[in-house]
Each structure stands twice: as structure tokens, then as C-alpha cells.
Amino acid sequence: MKTFAELNFPGRLVAVEGLDGSGKSTQIYLLKRWLEQQRLKVYFSEWNSSELVKAATSKGKKRELLTPTTFSLIHATDFADRYERHLVPLLRAGYIVLCDRYIFTAFARDVVRGCPPEWVRGVYDFAALPDLTFFFKSDLEVSLKRILDGRPQLKYFEAGMDLRLSTDPYESFRIFQGRILEQYLAMSTEFNFLVIDANQLVEKQQAVVRELVTQKLRLADFHRAERAPSKPPADAHKKSKEEVAAS
Amino acid sequence: MKSAAKNQIVVPHPTKRRFYGHGIPGVDLDRLAGKLIVVEGADGSGRSTQIEALVEWLEGTGHATVQVGLKRSTLVSEELERAQEGNILSRTTLSLFYATDFADQVENIILPALKAGFIVLADRYIYTLMARDIVRGMDEAWLKNLYGIAFEPDAVFYLNVPPEELVQRTFAKNATLDYWESGMDLGLSRDMFDSFMKYQTAMEKTFRRMQTTYGFTIVDGLRSAEAINAELQKKISAVLAGK
């Protein structure tokens, strides 16, 4: 597997991964704002957001129709749709593509649900690797608290209830998230995760993220082509006339 | 005297089953009493006629049946249909969408039916799905891994009808060629008739090549429906008897 840079794409893909409640979505949002304010070509894509596939996914979730295999495949379908129709063309056009969750989410979740790791990785092997992957590493208890404080009503699959870990959704969620964290940590070295301490303040984390992005991407390469405003060409024209006169 | 003999109902003989690849988590194939019979072939090859006749025969001989087919899952069939009409999905996406539809039917219909001892008749299986993608240039190793969730059926029949005859049968029925069955998305030709012939020829070739890996029975689909069904019945009888 290669990164987009290794495949000679002009664009770069930056992914964030982490547990629910690790604060990764806040961090990638702030990164996006910062890049946009520098007038760079940025595109943001979220896990499980393909318009086409979403209806089927939410039906499956609502009616609890999904098994580990169909759960995995329907998310892969969603990912493939975004990958083929948005991510790849934008990366070809030299965009910085920001992904809130990438294939590692599937690698972690589907394996915890019991899918064979080789099978899951095989299904996703049409996808190139991100150029940068930030992993927001939070203490399990911190993530749990963030989620459980905010949204006390846990959804069935979100809590991993399909795994029958516990009849109590909160207990099930704890065990499920703990196992996902183990999977993430096991992948960290293999996929060069840039590990961010997600127990720190938002600003501290964002400073580290921005610093690493500046170091690892040549941001100047991603400037939006400024559309020629009406005035400068007129000046340029005058100047060339002067040049002609001078010569 | 055994009651089975008295009523002349054959009790299916259990067989050893295997997944083609990594399989499905939590599924034990050893506990499936029923049989899975697959009928493959292009549109117009006579699949539904044959399946209908098999149901008639099987039920007449005391077997309960269930039918499955492509794009029939509760989970994604509507969405898949809609996406295909708009022709907006890219190759990998469409492939994974079909795999989701297939997996949903395996887990929610085929496996429970086999567990309950039904004879499951499948109007196409992974072979059509794989052949379509192979013809479209997708990576075979990727497809093999993907469909490693499928298990080997008890019998697979490929109704082989040459493209020249398929096109005649299609016109006799509809007077139009289907966009996908003509492989129009491949850009083989702007002429639909021409594209249909080329696409179906490529599909036939792919099926013949896959036959060497998956060992299905190639049935001459040019004979009468009765003659074909007699051949299928003979082979299925052998399967039921555990031969």
C-alpha cells in the first residue's frame, strides 16, 4: 500500500482517527478553517456520509438488520463511493483532502466485530494510504465521559450492542470502545500514526497539528489559483507598453 | 419399512461444506441440513423457467424450497436499483454494493433456510457478480477476497446460450436491449447491438475460464426447456442422495 504522495498525486490526504469522544472532529474542523483562511484548496469528507449509501445504512441500523459482514460491506461501499467520486478526483486536482476517519476505522471496528483482519484489509486495498494520519489518543475514561455526558442515549451499533458484550448499553459501549482502542494502538506503528495526546486542551492539540502539517506538507503548493482581478491585467498591459517604449 | 421409502421422499444426505475464503464470522457450515442449488446464465438463457420447473418438481417430491437472486436483499436492493438507474456509481462502489446485497441474503435468507432444511434455489450467485467485474477489468484477487464470504453450493448450473441466440430471445420478449446486459458502461461500441454481442461474448469467455476454478456444470441452453430440466433434475437427485 502506498500513500498519495508515493503515487505521485499532486494532492495530499490528511486523516484523523480516534475513539468517539476523542475530540478528533473538533481538531480537523479547526485545521480546515486554518487552511481555508490561507486560501488553500481544501476538501473535507466524513466517514459514512455518501448520499447514495446513507439511506441503506441508516435503514440497516434502525432495523438492526446488520451483521458484522454486512456492517463492514455497507461502510466499504460508502467509502468507495466517496473515494472514487470525490477523494481521488480532488487529489488529482491538487487538493488537500481532510478525512474524518479513514480505512483504519474499518480495520479497527470490523475486526472487533469479528471479521477476519485479512479480509477487511483486502476489501479496502483499492484505497491508497493517507499522507498524514493523526491519531487522537485519549484515555478511555475521558472519551467515554465526553460521549456519555453529552448524549446519554446510546445507539445500538454505536454501543456495540450487536456484539452481545453486555445487556447494559453503557457497559457494552465501554467494552466495545476499549477493544477498538486496542486495535488502533496495534496499528499505530504499522501505519505511521502521528499520535496526539487528546487529553490536552483543544488549543494545545491544534498547535501540534498545525505544526506537523506545516512541517510535512508544502502548503505553498496548494494555493487556490487566484482568478485574475480586473485591475492588475490593465497595469500589466500598461507596463508592457512602457517596456516596448523603453526598448 | 422406513417411512421415507414408503412415501418415496428422499431425505437429503448431509455434505461437508466450505467457504471459498475467509468466510463469515459466527457461521458454522456443518449444521446446514438443506441444499443450495445455483442456476447461472445470461438474461434470456432460461434461468427463471428452469427454476420454476425445479420448484414444481422439488415440492412435488416433498422438499421445501426458498428462492433467492441478485438485488433482492431487504438491506440495499432499493438503493442499489436507484443508484444503477442513475448510472452514477463508480466501479468499486457498485461492486461493493452488490456484495452487500449478496451478504445480506446469505446471512438472512440462505443460511437460515439451509439450517431449516430447505432447498435453496439461487437465481445467480457470486459467479455472475465476479464475471461482470472481471470483464470490467477489476482485480481478480480483490474479488476473490471479497467473495471469500461465500460458501460452495451443492450444485451450480451454467446455462450456456450463445450471444446470437440471446439477442434473438431478448428481442422476442422485449424488443429492447438492457443497458447493463449490453455492457454499455464499458464503451465497447456506441452501437448497442454491437456492444451487446461483444459484452456477452466476453461474459461467456469469463464463465468458461471460471469453470476451471469453480467446477460448475455447463449446460447446453439451446435444447428444449424440458430436456434441460431433466438434466438438472438428474444431477440434483444425485446431490440429494449425497452422491
Burial of B227 (0-12, 13-18, 19+ CB in 10 A): exposed
Which DSSP category does A177 fall into?
H
B79 CB near a chain A CB, below 8 Å? yes
Of B89, B139, B145, the CB nearest to A81: B89
The arithmetic mean of pLDDT across residues B51-67, rounded, is 97
* Residue B188 binned pLDDT confidence (cut-offs 50, 70, 90): very high
Max CA pair span of chain B:
67
CATH of B31-240, one of 3.40.50.300, 3.40.50.170, 3.40.30.10, 3.40.50.1970: 3.40.50.300
- B149 and A118 within 8 Å at the Cβ level: the answer is no
At residue B7, does pLDDT exceed 70? Answer: no
pLDDT over 70 (residue B87): no
* pLDDT value at B86 more than 80: no
pLDDT value, residue A141 = 87
pLDDT digits 0-9 by tens, A206-224 = 999 999 999 999 999 999 8
The pTM of the full predicted model, rounded to 2 decimals, is 0.88
pLDDT in the model for residue A229: 65
Judged by CB atoms within 8 Å, which residues 110-139 of B form the interface with A?
139
List residues of chain A with CB under 8 Å from any CB of chain B.
52-53, 55-56, 59-60, 65-70, 73-74, 76-77, 80-81, 83-85, 113-116, 118-119, 122-123, 125-126
> Which pLDDT score, from 0 to 100, does residue A51 have?
83
Interface probe with B: pick from A74, A109, A118, most Cβ of B within 10 Å: A74
Residue A225, min C-alpha distance to chain B (Å): 29
Residue A242 is predicted with a pLDDT of 43
ipTM over 0.95: no
Distance to chain A for B79, nearest Cα, Å: 6
* B218 phi-psi bin (left φ>0, alpha ψ -120 to 50, beta other): beta
Q: Which is it for strands B155-160 and B217-220: parallel, antiparallel or unpaired?
A: parallel
- pLDDT above 90 coverage of chain A, percent: 69
- pLDDT computed for residue A238 by the predictor: 46
**What pLDDT is recorded for position B37?**
98
B134-169 per-position pLDDT tens digit: 999 999 999 999 999 999 999 999 999 999 999 999
Burial B79-91 (b: 16+ CB within 10 A, else e): bbeebbeeeebee
Report whether pLDDT(B1) > 50: no
Which pLDDT tens digit goes with each residue over A105-154? 999 999 999 999 999 999 999 999 999 999 999 988 888 888 888 766 78
What whole-number distance in Å separates Cα of residue A115 and Cα of residue A110? 6
pLDDT in tens, A145-185: 888 887 667 888 888 998 999 999 889 999 999 999 999 99
| pLDDT tens-digit series, residues B165-181 | 999 999 998 889 999 99
Q: Does residue A60 sit in helix, strand or coil? A: helix
Which domains are delineated in chain A?
A: 12-246 (3.40.50.300)
CB B199 within 8 A of CB B182: yes
Q: Grid cell 421415507 — which residue?
A: B4
- For residue B42, the distance in angstroms to the closest alpha carbon of chain A comes to 25
Confidence class for position A240, pLDDT limits 50, 70, 90? very low
* pLDDT(A231) > 80: no
Q: Where are the domains of chain B?
A: 31-240
Of A70, A81, A126, the CB nearest to B104: A70
Whether A52 and B79 lie within 8 Å, measured CB to CB:
yes
Cβ(B153)–Cβ(B26) under 8 Å? no
